[in-house]
Amino acid sequence: MILEDQHDRGRKDGVFLLSTLSEIEKELPFHLVGVGCDFFQYTIDRSFGYPSYQWIQSVRGTGILRWNGKEQAVPEGHGMLLYPNEPHSYRARDESWHVHWITFNGYHIESTLHQLGLTETGVYAISEPMVFEGLIRKGLQILQQDYPLKGLDGSALIYQILLSLYKYVRSGGRPSQEDHNRRLKPALDLIEQKLSGPLTVESIAGTLGVTPQHFCVLFKNLTGLRPTEYINSRRIDRAKDLLFRHPALRVHEIARMVGFESDSYFSTVFRKLEGISPRRYRELHL
């Protein structure tokens, strides 16, 4: 009740809602605690932190976050990820600072954030602010509903937000995963267009105007695979579709259609990725 009163005193615009979790919902790996949209952000000073995780996104004006002896501006297009129970304070730098915020908890939050590389409280730039604005507004809609399973929808939303943080956050001045994806799109398009013919790292790197060595680094940072591994994976995906849809085609014909010049190499790669031979795959699915 104290939290609601504090919000009501500080809020000049916007709307917020806090959830009341059932015992079952508290057992979910992620759960939605509260949401605020177009919120006039007043000064906050929490010497003992806050009990839930928070993502507070600057939508108009600029704020200042202080934590752990650090101070950083939070301009538009940036957000604050606040870990629970860590002392912090934040205030408006400009006369009027408006934010969207969402608070969440769950026993899988910390491990998921660490797996995504977001290991601490901080200010993060985001490449697609509108994506987060849409997700936070969706959280508000969930809390406005009155039906027994809205906690499940809230849990799914928090997982989506965590993945979006991984996808769109620009940490330490480095490009986000989405930035990498945009940069690599011409190369990925070329791979799809030329999948059935010869493909070299040199020719693909040429679409980006970088050296083959630099291209391999960029590509693995985004996909986790070397270019040849990715190409083989896409070729095998296409081969599986042909094996299923065109039973009259022979295996060696399909190998040529998806860009493999050697039948034995096609079978080796297929078995490595699928665990069975192309012929056995066809038998199982037909």
Q: What is the CATH number of the domain that holds 203?
A: 1.10.10.60
Are 218 and 140 in a shared domain?
no
Are 37 and 158 in a shared domain?
yes
Query: Quick one: angle between helices 150-168 and 129-144, nearest 10?
Result: 170
Of 115, 138, 170, which residue sits at a domain end?
170
Distance, in Å, from the CA atom of 94 to the CA atom of 91, rounded to the nearest integer, reads 9
State how far Cα 44 lies from the chain centre: 28
Query: Quick one: angle between helices 212-223 and 227-245, nearest 10?
Result: 60
Q: Structurally, how many domains does the chain consist of? A: 2
DSSP state letters, 80-140: EEE-TT--EEEEESSS--EEEEEEEE-TTHHHHHHHTT--S-EEEEES-HHHHHHHHHHHH
Of 120, 146, 170, which residue sits at a domain end?
170
Query: Domain range spanning residue 227?
Result: 181-285
Strands (E), the chain: 15-18, 31-40, 44-46, 53-60, 63-67, 70-74, 78-82, 88-92, 98-105, 122-126, 169-170
- Whether the pTM exceeds 0.85: the reply is no
Are 36 and 74 in a shared domain?
yes
Name the pairing type of β-strands 31-40 and 98-105.
Answer: antiparallel
Handedness of CA 155, 5, 131, 218 (dihedral sign): negative
Are 120 and 18 in a shared domain?
yes
Contact criterion met (CB below 8 Å) for 267 and 278: yes
Distance, in Å, from the CA atom of 283 to the CA atom of 286, rounded to the nearest integer, reads 5
Are 146 and 227 in a shared domain?
no
State how far Cα 176 lies from the chain centre: 10
Are 140 and 12 in a shared domain?
yes
Are 8 and 130 in a shared domain?
yes
Q: Biggest alpha carbon distance in the chain?
A: 73
HSE toward the beta carbon, residue 40, CA cutoff 13 A = 11
Distance, in Å, from the CA atom of 88 to the CA atom of 98, rounded to the nearest integer, reads 18
- Asked whether residue 176 is assigned to any structural domain, the reply reads no
Q: What is the CATH number of the domain that holds 140?
A: 2.60.120.280
Digitized pLDDT (tens) for each residue of the chain, 286 residues in all: 344 444 555 556 677 777 777 777 778 889 999 999 998 999 999 999 999 999 999 999 999 999 999 999 999 989 999 999 999 999 999 788 999 999 999 989 999 898 888 899 999 988 888 889 999 999 999 988 887 778 889 999 999 999 888 888 866 556 556 666 777 888 888 999 999 998 999 999 998 888 999 989 888 877 778 999 999 999 999 999 999 889 899 999 999 999 999 999 999 999 999 999 999 989 887 7
Are 27 and 163 in a shared domain?
yes
Of 142, 170, 198, which residue sits at a domain end?
170
Tens digits of residue pLDDT in 5-29:
445 555 566 777 777 777 777 788 8
- In angstroms and rounded to an integer, the radius of gyration of the C-alpha atoms of the chain is 25
Residue 285 CB-density burial (10 A; 0-12 exposed, 13-18 middle, 19+ buried): exposed
